[in-house]
Structure formats: C-alpha cells, structure tokens
Amino acid sequence: MRHVDALSRAPVEPPNPTKTVADLVLKVELDEHDFLTTIQLHDMKLANIVKILQGMSSEQATQIRREYVYKNNRLYRKVDDQLRFVVPTAMRWRVVRTYHDGMGHFAAEKTLGRLRKDFWFPKMRKYVKSYISACMECVYNKTVTGKTEGQLYIDTVKPIPFMRLHLDHVGPLPKTSRGNQYILEITDPFTKFTVLKAVRSVNTQPVIRALNELTSYFGLPAVVVTDRGTAFTSHNFAEYCKLNGIQHIQTAVRTPRANGSIERINQTVCKCLRASCVSDSDWDTAIRDIQWTLNSNTNATTKYSPNDLIFDVRLRDVVHNRLVQAIHDEANDSQESIDIRWERATKAIEAEQAKWKQRFDRQRKKPSQYQEGDLVVITNVAPSTGFSRKLEPRYRGPYVISKVLRFDRYVVEDIEGLQRRQRRFNSVFHAEHLKPWRTAAPFLDNDTDGSDNEEDPGNVPG
C-alpha cells in the first residue's frame, strides 16, 4: 500500500528564484517575436545606429561604435564599462512607469538610480522628473520637502490709534454660568490696546455690538482684519463694513501670521485664564482684570503701555490691590507729550518688524507664482473621524485660480462644470498651501533627443 501513502502527498515544486522588475521587462525569446527588439528595430533612430554598427558608412560611425554595442539582437549603450539596454522612444513611458509606479512612487533620484542599472536613453533625468511631476498619486499624496514657501509681508503701521483693528475669537471654552463660551478679541496694532468680550457664540451680532461700543469711544476704523470665521464671512458683517466705509481684509486659509497682531494675544489670554480661574464656570469674571493688565503693562515692542499711547494722563488702576493703587496715586505723570510717544513707538515698531521679517524669511523660500486660470491642488485637512489620518491624501483638487491678490495670495474656485458640492467652492489661499496641477508632463511627448551634459554625452543620430 505504499502507493496510497505516496498519492496522499502533494508534489513539491522546486522554488522559483526571485525575479526583479528588470528580469520581467527584459524577459524575451530571441526570435522574431522579441517585443523589445522589435520595438528597437521600429525606432528609426535606433535602427540607423544598428545599421551603422553592422557596417553602414556614416560620419558618426567612429563615435557610435565607441558608445554602442549590438549584441544578441539588442542595442546597448556603453556606460562606465557596462552595457545598458537602449530604450526606444515608444517604450520609455512604460519602462519609467514600471520603475516609478510599480516600486512605491519614489522620487526622481531613487527612480533614476534603479533605471540606470539596466536601461539608458537620452535625457533620462529630465524625462523621469517630467513623468513624476505628472504622476497623480504623487500630486495628491506627496508634500513638498525643504523650506516652506512664503515670505513675511508687513504693512506700514500708521501712528494713528484705532485706524486699523484686528479681530478674532478664542474658544470654545467651558460654558460659564452666564452662558459664555468664547472670547471676542479686538486689538489696535499701533497702540496694542486690546478689548476682550465674553460672548455666547461666534455669531455676527455680538461682533457688531462690540464694534459699535468701541467705535462710540474711538471712532470708526478704516480697516478691519479678520480670519475667515463664519462671524466675519457672513452677509451681515459685509453689510456692516460697507455701511460704515470699512475695508474688510480676510486672511488666507490656514495663514495665522497674516493676523499675527492678535494671535499672540490669544496665547497670552489663554495662559492668564488658566492661571487665574478658580472654576471653569466663572472664567468670564476674570476677563476685565486681564484686559486691564494687557493695556496697562509696558509693551515689549513699543516700550510704552497701550494706555500711555492713547491717554495723556495716568489712569488709576482698576485691580483691587491697595498697594498698587497707592503707588499709582503717588506716581508722577509722564513728562513726554503724546506726539513724542507716538513717534518713538512708531520707530520701535518698524525696527521690530524688520527683525521679524529677517528672522522669518531666513527659514523660507520664495513662493511659486501663479496666474489666473492656472490649475492647482490645495492642502487637504482631513476631518477628524477618530481613526488615523496618516494615509489621507495631502492635497485635494484640482481647482482654478480666479484672481491674484497681494502678498502671494490667490482666490481659488471650483473649475467651471466640475463643482463638487451644492455650494460653489471659493476661498483665498497662500502660495504655501498650493501646488501646481499637472495634467500632462510637457517633456513626455517630446521626441527630440540630444545630449544631456549631466548624464547623456553624445548625440543619437536620426
């Protein structure tokens, strides 16, 4: 019954050696059906080289025999005493696609490194870079490495209090017993004077009420700067600004430095609240003292307190501390006039701004420039779902640039006829959050061969 035991055992196949991509691409039978050889012979330029190697006379015969070898019905290029298969024009796209798409979408240098082990064709580096720039998977999923794009642009500060206001919301915070969950912040970039208002929501009406109260004391501003929160992008806020002749500047998406005058105050206010609040339900009672402290302390940039740049008299301290009040009552008023203080504060601000710009630009590179009608993809912020977002696409699009703004900002909209949602997409983005959309690599359809001084010496005759 030995045959029964033998039949119950599956035959063991000999192990197959691991094959590389080059083995699969170059796996051919040496007959008239050899695919790569056939393509080589149908490439007019390569066919001419083969004829010259087989004896046809040519002015370039000496150079061609020095650089090429025809062996086993295949044309090779001599590179560093090794033979590289010469890829016909019609096969370049397929070979590069195999080595890029099929091997993990690596960048140009790694893709080139693997290609050069087996293949050669003129201007290989330029071709590979052009192919990768048009790879859709890379466009959506790979971020730009190196220094971030974008330089720091600074508006000249006019030495006039409350001519320009910066607004922002902080929150949501724990809901207080009075129903407040947010802090509305309003600051003047010249004097650094700050107003803090505890509000229940980020609706437009609380913002308008706060502005009406502030402007009843100090007059209307010429410019207000905000982010793109719903309170500031609403129709009611646009109408309020239009009615009062106020220019409304909205910062680009995810560019908080454009509203930096108030972003720094956000951090200070949150730190003070954490240290001052006894209970989460009464943080809004500490707002008054924090606002007073911000406006009465000397600012590190201007070298004056905001109160000193607005009022020509020393204000009594509102903090319920008898020692502080006694010192303030006995202190002498400053002998400097308000005009001198404004002049010195302006020079101090300009000097500090120059330092900020130098420090910021040192870590950045010049941004890419776009024109109206250019197609781009924008950085994608995946919604929080409770799961890992590490493999989410880094960009989304494409979109079209409909308007070019100052300071490397662009209005980005849905492409006509390709609207993704019921509401048409329209927003402002800085160049650092954009990347060109490439529908086709311009070099891939160019059959012009020639020398590439970096890697491809010599010309291929045609």
Q: Between 181 and 1, whose confidence is greater?
A: 181
- Checking if the pLDDT of 30 tops 70, the result is no
Cβ distance 424 to 112 under 8 Å? no
Grade residue 25 by pLDDT with cuts at 50, 70 and 90.
low
Q: What is the pLDDT of residue 459?
A: 45
Task: Identify the CATH number of the domain in which residue 111 sits.
Answer: 1.10.340.70
Domain limits for position 124: 32-141
In the chain, how long is the greatest CA-to-CA distance? 119
In this prediction, residue 355 carries a pLDDT of: 85
Q: Is the pLDDT confidence value at 452 over 50?
A: no
Inter-residue contact 211 to 186 (CB < 8 Å): yes
* 176 and 314 share one domain: yes
* pLDDT score at 359: 85
pLDDT tier at 245, thresholds 50, 70, 90: very high
Q: What is the pLDDT of residues 434-445, one digit of tens each?
A: 888 876 555 554
Domain total of the chain: 3
Q: Where are the alpha helices (DSSP H) in 11-158?
A: 21-26, 35-42, 44-53, 61-67, 89-100, 108-115, 124-133, 136-141
**141, 173, 193 — which closes off a domain?**
141
Same domain, 173 and 279: yes
The CATH number linked to 258 is 3.30.420.10
Are 94 and 240 found together in one domain?
no
Shared domain check, 201 and 258: yes
pLDDT tens digits along 163-216: 999 999 988 888 888 889 999 999 998 898 999 999 999 999 999 999 999 999
Asked if pLDDT for residue 62 goes beyond 50, the answer is yes
Looking at residue 224, its pLDDT comes to 92
Residue 424 lies in a domain: yes
- Which of 153, 274, 155, 167 is CA-nearest to residue 210? 167
- Among 7-16, 333-342, 453-462, the least confident range: 453-462
Does residue 239 carry a pLDDT above 90? yes
78: its two tokens: 């001599």
126 within domain boundaries: yes
Confidence of residue 79 (pLDDT cuts 50, 70, 90): confident
Average the pLDDT over 29-38 and give the result: 55
Q: What is the mean pLDDT of residues 262-272?
A: 83
Identify whether residues 172 and 264 lie together within a single domain: yes
Are 343 and 421 in a shared domain?
A: no
Residues 83, 197, single domain; the answer is no
Q: Which helix (H) or strand (E) holds 110?
A: helix 108-115
pLDDT at 297 over 50: yes
Query: 435 near 133, Cβ under 8 Å?
Result: no
DSSP 176-188: -TT---EEEEEE-
Per-residue pLDDT tens digits for 412-432: 988 887 777 778 888 888 888
Say yes or no to pLDDT of 321 above 70. Answer: no
pLDDT at 402 over 50: yes
What's residue 417's pLDDT?
79
Q: Please report the pLDDT score of residue 244 as a whole number.
A: 92
Residue 458: its pLDDT value, please?
A: 41
Mark which of 141, 172, 188 sits at the end of a domain: 141
Q: Is position 321 within any domain?
A: yes
- Whether residue 279 has pLDDT greater than 60: yes
Check pLDDT > 70 for residue 115: yes
Q: How big is the CA angle at 237 (ends 197 and 231), to the nearest 5 degrees?
A: 55
pLDDT interval class at 451 (50, 70, 90): very low
Whether residue 23 has pLDDT greater than 60: no
Q: Is the predicted pLDDT of residue 338 greater than 60, yes or no?
A: yes
Same structural domain for residues 275 and 183? yes
Q: Are residues 226 and 283 in the same domain?
A: yes
Gyration radius of the chain over CA positions: 34
Rounded average pLDDT over 86-109: 84
CATH, residue 408: 2.30.30
pLDDT value for 256: 75
Shared domain for 77 and 189, answered yes or no, is: no
Other CB atoms within 10 Å distance of the CB of residue 220: 15
pLDDT at 264: 82
Q: Is the pLDDT of residue 101 over 80?
A: yes
Asked whether residue 380 is domain-assigned, the answer is yes
| Residue 183 neighbours by CB distance under 10 Å | 23
Does residue 379 sit in the same domain as residue 431? yes
pLDDT of residue 313 exceeding 90: no
Q: How many C-beta atoms surround the C-beta of residue 194 within 10 A?
A: 20
List, in sequence order, every residue forming a beta bridge with 76; answer none if it has no partner: 69, 85
**Could you read off the pLDDT of 144-167 as tens digits, one per residue?**
777 887 778 777 778 888 999 999
What is the residue-averaged pLDDT of the chain? 79
Residue 435's identity, in one-letter code, is K
